């Protein structure tokens, strides 16, 4: 590894007890096991997370919602919605997940090139006043606000490649031109948001870029889309910091995704995100095949460290993908120079 890459992790993240739910502690255990097997940990800078304080969580979430989550957990646990269980320790673990992102930002600003936050619970579905889709607090959205408020990093790019659209993140920055939110996701699919026509409102119009895809899209499709849409937007936007909502559930082996990405494909996507970015903080979101998840994270870290483009044999995009890209360009050409 050549670049200075940080890794946020704590065994405390395993205490968010969801039983046999797809988002469970085995995910982090599997990732760590492979990183140890491949002797990658010695090349990473371990970052100890801190807990976010409640005022920091209010950067994105309402006080009443924060209080509600705390009360449910203090009673021993329950459900925020039908998909989102919490246990007695989940509130404190969620604070540590958000705070882990803050710790990563501090280190990237100080002396690292990038950092991967091996954290849970995930966050990109969490809305201002509601947890949903396995998510409690919106880690990446909170990180964006923290970077702006604590480090005066004015322009924030968020790249969300989870197979599900990050409705909570989109909502948080819907009117905000200081945050460019780019999401590539399967559609129609949970949570039902993320149409091309969803572009933001008011001063934020054009700063939400959605690329909804049919099932079955793979490496070449994603790489083509990144090069044709994300890359020109990011170069023009000139982010001071980039966040990745790094869900790995678009992998062909994922039981919930229905897409066709490979583990090396995630390495290639990482290199494309890295090019226009001075600093990058990546946060684990979805990914529910333990083997595919751990191998994809490994490729992600290799790419963060080496800046190599990845081991991919490029093919033309699938039929229909070019049409989707042209529609994205048509809608966003009034905001960005998409060629």
Q: What is the pLDDT of residue 311?
A: 58
Place of tokens 């950067």: 59
Answer yes or no: is 15 within a domain: yes
Segments of the chain scoring below 50 in pLDDT:
1
Answer yes or no: is 228 within a domain: yes
Question: Which 3 state secondary structure label does DSSP give 169?
Answer: helix
61 is catalytic: no
The residue range of the domain holding 263 is 5-332
Per the CB < 8 A criterion, the answer to whether 188 and 215 are in contact is no
Per the CB < 8 A criterion, the answer to whether 194 and 187 are in contact is yes
Cβ neighbours of 20 (radius 10 Å): 6
Burial of 214 (0-12, 13-18, 19+ CB in 10 A): middle
Domain count, the chain: 1
Structure confidence by residue, pLDDT tens digits, 209-243: 999 999 999 999 999 999 999 999 999 999 999 99
Q: What is the pLDDT of residue 3?
A: 77
CA triple 108-46-132, angle to 5 deg: 75
- CATH code at position 175: 3.40.800.20
CA triple 226-139-54, angle to 5 deg: 155
Annotated catalytic residue, options 16, 61, 125, 189: 125
Strands 156-160 and 45-47: unpaired
Answer yes or no: is 317 within a domain: yes
Report the number of secondary-structure helices (H) and strands (E) in the chain: 11, 10
Answer yes or no: is 338 within a domain: no
Answer yes or no: is 339 within a domain: no
Residues whose CB falls within 8 Å of the CB of residue 122, separated by 6 or more in sequence, listed in order: 23, 134, 135, 139, 247, 283, 284, 285, 286
Answer yes or no: is 170 within a domain: yes
Q: What is the pLDDT of residue 65?
A: 98
Q: What is the pLDDT of residue 266?
A: 97
Q: What is the pLDDT of residue 315?
A: 85
Q: What is the pLDDT of residue 143?
A: 99
Q: What's the predicted TM-score (pTM) here?
A: 0.97
């Amino acid at each position: 590894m050549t670049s200075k890459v940080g890794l946020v992790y704590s065994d405390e993240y395993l205490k968010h007890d969801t039983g046999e739910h797809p988002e469970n502690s085995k995910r982090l255990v599997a990732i760590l096991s492979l990183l140890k097997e491949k002797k990658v940990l010695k090349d990473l800078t371990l970052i100890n997370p801190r807990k976010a304080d409640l005022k920091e969580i209010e950067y994105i979430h309402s006080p009443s919602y924060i209080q509600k989550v705390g009360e449910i957990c203090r009673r021993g646990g329950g459900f925020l919605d039908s998909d989102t269980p919490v246990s007695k320790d989940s509130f404190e673990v969620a604070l540590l997940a958000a705070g882990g992102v803050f710790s990563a930002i501090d280190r990237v600003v100080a002396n690292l090139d990038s950092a991967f936050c091996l954290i849970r619970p995930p966050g990109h579905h969490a809305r201002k006043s509601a947890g949903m889709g396995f998510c409690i607090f919106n880690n990446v959205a909170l990180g964006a606000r923290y970077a702006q408020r604590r480090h005066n990093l004015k322009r924030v790019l968020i790249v969300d490649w989870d197979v599900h659209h990050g409705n909570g993140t989109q909502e948080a920055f819907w009117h905000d031109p200081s945050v460019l939110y780019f999401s590539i996701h399967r559609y129609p699919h949970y949570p039902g948001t993320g149409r091309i026509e969803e572009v933001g409102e008011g001063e934020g119009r054009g700063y939400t870029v959605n690329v909804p895809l049919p099932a079955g899209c793979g490496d070449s499709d994603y790489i083509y889309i990144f090069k044709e849409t994300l890359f020109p937007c990011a170069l023009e936007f000139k982010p001071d910091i980039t966040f990745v909502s790094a869900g790995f559930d678009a992998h062909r082996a994922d039981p919930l995704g229905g897409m066709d990405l490979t583990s090396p494909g995630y390495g290639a996507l990482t290199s494309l995100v890295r090019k226009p970015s001075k600093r990058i903080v990546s946060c684990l979101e979805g990914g529910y095949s333990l083997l595919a998840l751990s191998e994809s994270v490994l490729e992600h870290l290799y790419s963060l460290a080496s800046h190599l483009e990845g081991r991919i044999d490029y093919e033309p995009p699938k039929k229909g993908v070019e049409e989707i890209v042209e529609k994205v360009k048509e809608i966003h050409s009034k905001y960005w120079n998409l060629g």
